[in-house]
Structure 1
């Protein structure tokens, strides 16, 4: 029986980082940041499967950099997806990104409790909840989203939530440990 407090798969050791690893990380990390510390435990673990990491990071980089969603909406969705999938690791990683996207600490706490004051944030939280619980967005919520987002943005919202639920599955299953330099914001 494995110790649940230990990762099931450890991050790739420093001495095994090579050009293949750096290529696998290249969709998200520039070469100067493709190292164990800057990659963090999650990427340093996922990079054990380099083709999978490269493919997933290409998708993830789209979600983070090229999505039609605003940074604020993206981070509201990611924070709720982290919570609905039980990933404190992803929550802790995205709280600073949410702050950079303009969310206040009070708004982040409201998102944590599923009760944002902002009507668009509240709608995004509802959509994430429906996707987590029913694997679909209801007609009512879909129509309400259409009052604020075009079709491209609604598609990006679905795939952002799904992409982070997928990542949470890996984080939770592998037992990815928080980095020492992160201060949990739970």
Structure 2
């Protein structure tokens, strides 16, 4: 279940400022490379004085419960190649992600997933702060830390304050109208967080909670918020069941 890997650190002029390429971003032919991280100087200039060091030859890393497909996926049928191309186009300029390399064990499922997620991510009208705060709260409730690592930064980028994200990160159950609204969140953000909490934990939503959502949002917005929460509950359960990205058993603070 674990493997012994080397952790290489490349030092440049003894600089202490590095970019970190996490384990889930490092893939080479069926994820045979499983280094914990690669540190690269942020302002490194072309030079020949990089020195590799083996820091620990007994570092053990988690493995996803299934092997990832090779990246890039090997040529297959014309239909399956077209599926891979569509997923690559949606991800661009980023490479295929661990989630993609898991889903591509079943190209038709990967294709439908890509279409659905593409619509939720890029074709809805709800503001980015509300979309990403909902996804982040799903990640917290379901302990899907791979999902949190990707979407919590997007929530902050979309306008959620750091103080607000600390409240989102708290795993305690939230009840709209009963739990005191923390500082750092707007009324709409808080309503979406509580609505997400209720949908994710209980599936059924109280009339009082839904009534507040109708008061704050239009019908299309409500549908898109519900669809986003439902979608990322699906994503989080897939991620956790297979341990995609090897984040199970960690936590939100270890996920960045």
When normalised by structure 1's length, the TM-score is 0.83
Root mean square deviation, CA, Å: 2.8
Find the partner of 2:106 among 38, 44, 49: 49
Could you tell me which runs of 5 or more consecutive residues in structure 1 were left unpaired when the two chains were aligned.
none
On the 8 A contact 2:133/2:152 being kept in 1, the answer is no
Moved more, 21-30 or 126-135: 21-30
Moved more, 12-21 or 158-167: 12-21
Matched, 1:131 2:199: yes
Indicate the SS of the match to 2:216: coil
Q: 1:150 — aligned with what?
A: 218
On the 8 A contact 1:81/1:128 being kept in 2, the answer is yes
Q: 1:38 — aligned with what?
A: 95
Moved more, 169-178 or 88-97: 169-178
Structure with higher strand content: 2
Find the partner of 1:119 among 184, 187, 190: 187
CA drift of 1:41 comes to 0.9
Matched residues in 1 for 2:245 and 2:79: separation? Answer: 24
Matched residues in 1 for 2:231 and 2:95: separation? Answer: 21
Find the partner of 1:24 among 78, 83, 103: 83
Find the partner of 1:172 among 240, 243, 246: 240
- Structure number with bigger Rg: 2
Matched residues in 2 for 1:41 and 1:28: separation? Answer: 12
When normalised by structure 2's length, the TM-score is 0.62
Summarize the Cα distance change of 1:11–1:69 in structure 2 as closer, same or farther, 3 Å threshold.
same
Matched residues in 2 for 1:126 and 1:44: separation? Answer: 33
Q: Write out per-residue CA displacement over residues 91-146 of structure 1, whole angstroms, 9 at most, x where no aligned residue.
A: 00112221321223222212212645321111111111111122022111111111
Structure with higher helix content: 1
Matched residues in 2 for 1:142 and 1:28: separation? Answer: 35
CA drift of 1:86 comes to 1.2
Indicate the SS of the match to 2:113: helix
- Greater relative CO (CA pairs within 8 A, separation 6+): 1
Matched residues in 2 for 1:119 and 1:155: separation? Answer: 19
